Structure 1
Amino acid sequence: MKRFLIAVVALCLSTACVQPPIRQSTMEPVPPMAERLDIFSSNKTGGLPKGWEPLIIHKTKKRTEYSLVTDAGRTVMHAHAVAASSGLMQKVDIDPFARPWLNWGWKIGRLIDSADNTDRNAEDSPARIILGFDGDKDTLPFADQIMFETARVVTGHDFPYATLMYVWENKAPVGTVIPSPRSGRVKMMVAASGSEGVGEWKNFARNVVEDYEQAFGEKPGKLIGVGILSDTDNTGETVEAWYGDIHLKQKLK
């Protein structure tokens, strides 16, 4: 899976790209930052949910297909990736200390047999939840600042200070932090691992403040983007995933 489009510094670092694609018309209104996530189950089937935008990894990449469908009596997001990589995202403005508990459910049809999230040439996952955090980029090492600046010049918009992803991994144990093989500003937290539960709905509750501190060694800034991503562009495989509602809550219930 490719991440940020950085023409000089690196190839695409896709999962850190939790900002919307560049708008084609300057007259198009920019949606406000949401204080709460719009949930999939409140939408009708057959299209995309309100409040969510396509997360384009690279204009030359084949896109993952997303659509709202009915599963187990509720509306959920279905993803179908065939050698593809794109996602959906929503811009938010949320204090993670006020609402640290991330709750979601997902289901995958199969593992990606040849995927390896430690290998930049095999970094794919059937299901990912992506969180983008704000922060002071001036405090980062010079190489990271150059990367961000190059990304801004090339793509026309800024990227998050840090990106934390929850992924379904093939082998690494749940709770493992996997640094991105492309950028130190992207970390993957293993939420599910192996074949157990494949084809079944799995529900999760993670404390994003604790997970962020474990991954980055510092306290998180504001949460500015939430996304989903099913990608198979590196392995060329085919995968399906279903995403339930995503919530950020004050307390674990």
Structure 2
Amino acid sequence: MITAELQCGVNEVAVDCPRDCSFDSCPKSRHHDKTPCPTPETCPPPTCKCIFNHRRADNGTCIPTTECPPFECSGVREVYDSCPSWCPSQECENASPTDECPFFILTVVECSPACRCQPHHWRDNGTCVPYYECLEDTCGPNEHLKDGISCKSDCCPGEDCPDPCASSCTCDLQYHRVSNGSCIPSRQCPPIDCPLNEHFDVCPVCNEGCDNAVASGKRCRFVGRVGTTVICEPACRCDDGYWRNNNKRCVPYEECRESTI
């Protein structure tokens, strides 16, 4: 039992079977807290230890761990962190564009000062690298890393694709994503049922708005121009002789004329 005569100081607590641990004191290097803390075969005399999340400073007092003098972090893109959280981890496999932990954590962390990667950097084989370098090998066939954070959909119409905001990859030009997550040629997007007076077009190229309506029904007056590259965006398009009005409905040429008079 702890003797009644043992008097502890500020931020100290009496311990009846103390262990001699390196993390009792403020760390001097990144390896300080990694030293094993042996359990004695025979209990030494009771002593005073620093309370939770406090360390013994050079002057012998117990101070908050977060107030310990920082040690040098010599690694590339590393910074000193007096109380790093365990989530998110530092590894590339857990990299996220926001650096935020995906879980709601309601717990008090025991502070263990460490060298951590600077914001938006993660460890690849121990070296801190930018977020995008963690993802260089994560994109599948016919896709590539996004240029920044984008929520633009690359999904074929009607397909149940993953949330584009949650992915760091997007389909290559002239490819679209399907429900299984893979990117296929845009012209191979499965057809969908379209509204009245519309049909599915894997690569629409011409303006179908009422403001371009002509009696002949012809929309493509510029198809075949040399040097023109058409980017396919599969969609429902108006049938021949129909044009899309301001209400997004496909109507005959006569109704387009009535709406503009």
TM-score range, shorter chain: under 0.3
- Of Structure 1 and Structure 2, which has the larger fraction of its residues in strand? 1
Q: TM-score, normalised by structure 2?
A: 0.19
Higher relative contact order (CA 8 A, sep 6+): 1
Q: TM-score, normalised by structure 1?
A: 0.19
